A and B are shown apart, each in its own frame.
Chain A
Amino acid sequence: MDTKGLRRIHDYCYEIPVTYKKGMRVPGRIYATRSLIEQMDEEVREQTANVCLLPGIIKYGICMPDGHSGYGFPIGGVAAVDPETGVISPGGIGFDINCGVRLMATNLTFDEIQPRLKDLMQALFHRIPSGVGEDGIVKLTPSRIDDAMVGGAAWAVKQGYGTPEDLECIEEGGCMPDADPAAVSAKARERGRGQIGSLGSGNHYLELQVARPGDIFDPDLARRLIIHRENQIVVMIHSGSRGLGHQIATDYLKQFLSVMGSRYGLSMPDRELACAPFDSEDGRRYFRAMNCAVNYAFCNRQVLMHGVRSVLCDFFKKNEDELGLRLIYDVCHNTAKLEPHLVDGRERLLLVHRKGATRAYGPGAPGLPQRYRETGQPVIIGGSMETGSYLLVGTAQASEAFYSTCHGSGRVLSRHQAKKSFNGRELQRRLEDRGIYIMTSSLPGLAEEAGAAYKNIDEVIEATKRAGLSKPVARFTPIGTIKG
């Protein structure tokens, strides 16, 4: 994107003036360096400006350092909306509701795992469902799916997939309260009931990573976030609400499109920004259905992690405590949530849309578990399978972005460009030569996820840090990846 026309707030924040487009209610703000903005596509400007058209938007329409074009909102888009006067938009959340990342610690080290890495990855690939058309670990009857949509990760734990200690290390405790299965269509249930405990495809993955000594930026914080051994192995899981969430978003997008003009007198320049007043029957109903998908996704990642724990215990013939298999945290990056925020010195309840953006509460925030009250919320940022991923914590300064931060490295090449540029098989061999062992059900899909298809994760994290959105704790290098 050309930075011409953007107003520099500081070296890590640029503003799209409110005069850029007719109807903008607030300015747009892009948190990134000039270099990162230049790597974003031109559509990001347009889509961020469109976010600023939303009725009820507060302060700014925001784009994160990893931003790139999507549909409706840009990926990396954040909008805080007054729930009394503003709207909710499925296009500000995405089809994969509560797509997110979780990070589990182990007390294994690289030296312990490396000689048997291939066998371990094959065991994981064999038992963790991934790719197009794969069923999940759990298959539910139509009535049982209601329990999962209401209970989230807590339901999974009740069924034996994990322990109660896991729940306190999940955003929102792994369960959003305002979830009503009556707001979810039969089609959505049908799509979701066989998929709990499956990774899916695209950019979803399960990865073994190593925390090298030179990549620990804050040893004290790292220790409190259970990164305490030299060359410690961690497990990262990236997945979402699968077909259930996709269908809920599809159903309500269509519904909002049909009523937004006739019932509410609203119009938006992009149909993907179809919306309804939050405080309306349509808005509230979508919110309750969306929360069902949020809970389903928590449940999905919980069951996936349990599957990984089982494989590791079987493989090493040790129990979970002996292997130190503790959940560090689980974050969402496609949601809308009601949260208290300070606006011009006054606390207000706001509906914060985050699409490809992570909530990042600073130290002392009331929504944090006791364990992380002093450190700030752990923030998990997944990079490409070739480069690395990060663990950060939230900061007080991120209040200006409604406690939001980036979610990944962000694409620089489209999937089609990446598929034309890289060969999946060659990429797999090249990575193996570098000590990264990849298992996939889709070599063409693998090519689309090549490291060069993404921005430099280190540059994104540096901008995130400099902008004050979060504080880096550790960087992880991938050693084994399962791509869907």
Chain B
Amino acid sequence: MNVLICISRVPDTATKIVVGSDGKTIDNQGVKFIINPYDEYAIEEGLRIKEKFGGSVTAVTVGSEQSSDILRTALAMGVEKATIIKAPEIFDSYFVAYNLAEYAKSIKPDIILLGRQSVDFDSFQIPSLLAGLIDYNLVTVVSKLTIDANKIICERDVEGGKEIVETNLPCIISAQKGLNEPRYPKLPDIMKAKSKPIEILEAKPTDLKMEVISMEIPMKQRIGKILSDSDEDINELVRLLHEEAKVI
């Protein structure tokens, strides 16, 4: 079984985000970048599929050459081949999906795994766009995956419960938290990862289908009010719930 994993490089979730001087990009200065956390589940699942069924696992990302750091992590976890498709500074989801699709067509994987979303821009578009472009079956937000011969059984998180879906190869699976417990790369594998090559390809340009007009940091949430248990405060609480929160 040949597995392709699409990963993206996102700011660490603990990073304080600052909008750049142009008002429509993130200022990368001093920002720590990590593998998109949902993509880690995809990598782990891909490695488990290979360990069970044999084959190969390839990781690809669309981004700057600096993305070699996240690919190095993927290689240390056990991925065998890694590719960066070099993107210009400004690009949109369609550009990413289109280039992933072109790459997928060239290596024809049996299964493509990727995170359900990237936690930087949260567009949720890549899995669906990619499935459309290469005409693979798609199951999104999968929290359990079972492969039985050509049959793929997926458990999906839906509002208030689970949904079981069945599909067949070739297919695309987008990973939800809980799909597995991603492994830590082991020290010897980290050292070995440096000798594995990272392929760098030029991206094929596409017209922008979406453009960021502006970006701003959300306003701070309103500060909560603390009231005591005095009669006076209880009356105040009732008034606030009634007049301000308008819940009673």
The answer to whether A and B come from one shared complex is no
